[in-house]
Structure 1
């Protein structure tokens, strides 16, 4: 039996769940080592407290019979939800990514079931085993290597779109990977948008540059943000504040603290500097097979940090019409603190 499935089954028994319905493509991959992209068609990995998981999969997607899970086929003339319902009893944990259309149909078919949030899956995935940790380290080392190239690529006269394309090409050359998410490149006042989309804006002397980027290694994602200045740093105080917040957040990470405590450590630095209203997002997010995984490093997340968790620390200050600064690193929680997976320097922002 798959060790990850066994861990989930043990948690299910402790919580009194009869089954979990898993549909998120990365979660399915996590448990059975295979990824599917089924579009609007139903896919469901059903884990019960005993026995092999059952993968309910449309016949359109080829897959040979497996030994570590039972393959349950359906076609476009059959009701996949009805097939799923046959394997469920009692209290059922539902994947938060499962389509509402499927869930509402299941609720109508089986009003006897008690549907609950299937966050046990998130808890299992949030703690990385040694193999996952090694892949996360290598993904971040590859990201560091590409960021070194990025410093050379940042040149006046280039547009945000051009720099983005060059960064994506560097990932393929130096990391043998496509980006793990849409690369963010922003100049000057565009840096005030945390999710800026690269435009035709041209880089000029005196502007700031934000680069938020990541790649994959054997399926596992990296994610890092650096802020640079072309020539004179006109936002020295802002940069210093964000860097201190980033370091304060990293220093707060250890088993037993809550995610909201880490967020507070970052946010307090920014608030005391007078920029509190300009830190407009959470401090970080979990990461692994997906670039955004539970849990959030946020003011409202009281989940307790455990050894083996991996997440980002990425405080930022965003001044509308002026610009912004964000500094992001990934951390891996250790027995008594954390390991910072990014080694790219943060004390050399002026190019």
Structure 2
């Protein structure tokens, strides 16, 4: 069953007349067409009965067709009101939706108001949960792409480690990593992070002109896109012999990472995984320095459903892919984060990222 057919079945079962998919990653998921429309309108409209269509900027119609979308593609010019073009296309199918499913977490207010004006009788309901439920379970084709993306992330970390040298800047190392991935014909899945010395204690720090010094810990956080699917890995290494305090923090984070991964299996709750890692860190006396969730879903988007937090009671199922990334950020010692991408298997877990995790001293 295609993604479009699955959504059509959902609409029929729930007496919903139409659905409007608007998040670019979700448009790619249901149509195979990858686009970054910026401020322009992009979406897929799926009906309970009528034939679906994709709407995009006029200039992207050939790309949408080349991506394999088998239904109509409707384009809008920059001089047109794209929401009026959308409404006309819906009405041309003799559909007057009474119930309209939208991505409430994405559709901007201005566009919602335009739909409400065009279809004043419509009740707008959430499509978000259905899309999340579809995307959260990866099929074997998706998993193979994620394995390839993880393999490239491992390679990127290897390049980064080889580039570390006294006097070299964070940005020089970052540039070498990204060039190596571009040479493979791929792109990064988010802005690459290379942090050194005291900057490692900032979970989302900004790489810059700081030069690597002996005794630094160096943190890499990066990901690669392979055929539309993302990886996300973090490794922290030592340049020169680390202090005992730095070793203690590193080994605590490593234990939190491995303990949580060991517990992954169908039926375990997201909150249980977070608790295992958090307890490991707290029992070592560093609880206040673990300041974020344990992980997040991974797939077409580098951050997607579900969020692996201490408040999420969702149970894990076979085919779910997410990150395990505990960290300790102690500004007077060091910051350490170790992140892996994992998939829930029938009996346990497969770790997709394989770059070594024992402390590397360069």
Same fold per superposition (TM over 0.5): yes
Cα deviation, residue 16, structure 1: 4.4
Decide whether aligned partners of structure 1 residues 349 and 3 sit closer, same or farther in structure 2, where only a CA change above 3 A counts: same
Deviations along 1:200-233, whole A, 9 cap, x unmatched?
1111111111001111222211111000111222
Instruction: Answer yes or no: is the 8 Å Cα contact 2:236–2:338 preserved in 1.
Output: yes
CA distance in 2, matches of 1:14, 1:248: 42
Does 2:207 match 1:208?
Answer: no
Task: Number of aligned residue pairs: give it.
Answer: 349
Cα deviation, residue 84, structure 1: 3.7
Per the alignment, residue 348 of structure 1 pairs with: 359
Decide whether aligned partners of structure 1 residues 75 and 242 sit closer, same or farther in structure 2, where only a CA change above 3 A counts: same
Instruction: Answer yes or no: is the 8 Å Cα contact 2:24–2:43 preserved in 1.
Output: no
Per the alignment, residue 277 of structure 2 pairs with: 266
Q: Which runs of 5+ in 2 are unaligned?
A: none
Cα deviation, residue 325, structure 1: 0.5
Cα deviation, residue 60, structure 1: 3.6
Cα deviation, residue 253, structure 1: 1.6
Instruction: Answer yes or no: is the 8 Å Cα contact 1:12–1:19 preserved in 2.
Output: yes
Decide whether aligned partners of structure 1 residues 304 and 20 sit closer, same or farther in structure 2, where only a CA change above 3 A counts: farther
Decide whether aligned partners of structure 1 residues 104 and 272 sit closer, same or farther in structure 2, where only a CA change above 3 A counts: farther
CA distance in 1, matches of 2:77, 2:208: 44
CA RMSD of aligned residues (A): 2.1
Alignment of 1:311-326 (within 5 A): 311-326=322-337
Decide whether aligned partners of structure 1 residues 37 and 172 sit closer, same or farther in structure 2, where only a CA change above 3 A counts: closer
Cα deviation, residue 191, structure 1: 0.7
Instruction: Answer yes or no: is the 8 Å Cα contact 1:10–1:49 preserved in 2.
Output: yes
Per the alignment, residue 207 of structure 2 pairs with: 198
Cα deviation, residue 48, structure 1: 2.3
Instruction: Answer yes or no: is the 8 Å Cα contact 2:230–2:298 preserved in 1.
Output: yes
CA distance in 2, matches of 1:111, 1:264: 47
Per the alignment, residue 105 of structure 1 pairs with: 114
Decide whether aligned partners of structure 1 residues 84 and 264 sit closer, same or farther in structure 2, where only a CA change above 3 A counts: farther
Q: 2:287 aligns with which of 276, 288, 291?
A: 276
Instruction: Answer yes or no: is the 8 Å Cα contact 2:200–2:219 preserved in 1.
Output: yes
Per the alignment, residue 303 of structure 1 pairs with: 314
Cα deviation, residue 128, structure 1: 1.1
Normalising by structure 2, we get a TM-score of: 0.89
Per the alignment, residue 162 of structure 1 pairs with: 172
Alignment of 1:14-163 (within 5 A): 14-63=13-62, 68-85=70-87, 86=90, 87=95, 89-95=97-103, 96-119=105-128, 120-163=130-173
Q: Which runs of 5+ in 1 are unaligned?
A: none
Alignment of 1:173-252 (within 5 A): 173=183, 175-234=184-243, 235-252=246-263
Cα deviation, residue 50, structure 1: 3.7
CA distance in 1, matches of 2:99, 2:266: 31
CA distance in 1, matches of 2:19, 2:275: 34
Cα deviation, residue 38, structure 1: 2.0
Cα deviation, residue 198, structure 1: 0.7
Instruction: Answer yes or no: is the 8 Å Cα contact 2:53–2:72 preserved in 1.
Output: yes
Instruction: Answer yes or no: is the 8 Å Cα contact 2:32–2:69 preserved in 1.
Output: no
Decide whether aligned partners of structure 1 residues 42 and 273 sit closer, same or farther in structure 2, where only a CA change above 3 A counts: same
**3-state SS in 2 of match to 1:345:** coil
Does 2:266 match 1:255?
Answer: yes
Instruction: Answer yes or no: is the 8 Å Cα contact 1:242–1:270 preserved in 2.
Output: yes
CA distance in 1, matches of 2:12, 2:328: 45
Instruction: Answer yes or no: is the 8 Å Cα contact 2:138–2:319 preserved in 1.
Output: yes
Deviations along 1:71-116, whole A, 9 cap, x unmatched?
2344345443344444562333322222232123323443432223
Per the alignment, residue 6 of structure 1 pairs with: 5
**3-state SS in 1 of match to 2:73:** strand
Normalising by structure 1, we get a TM-score of: 0.92
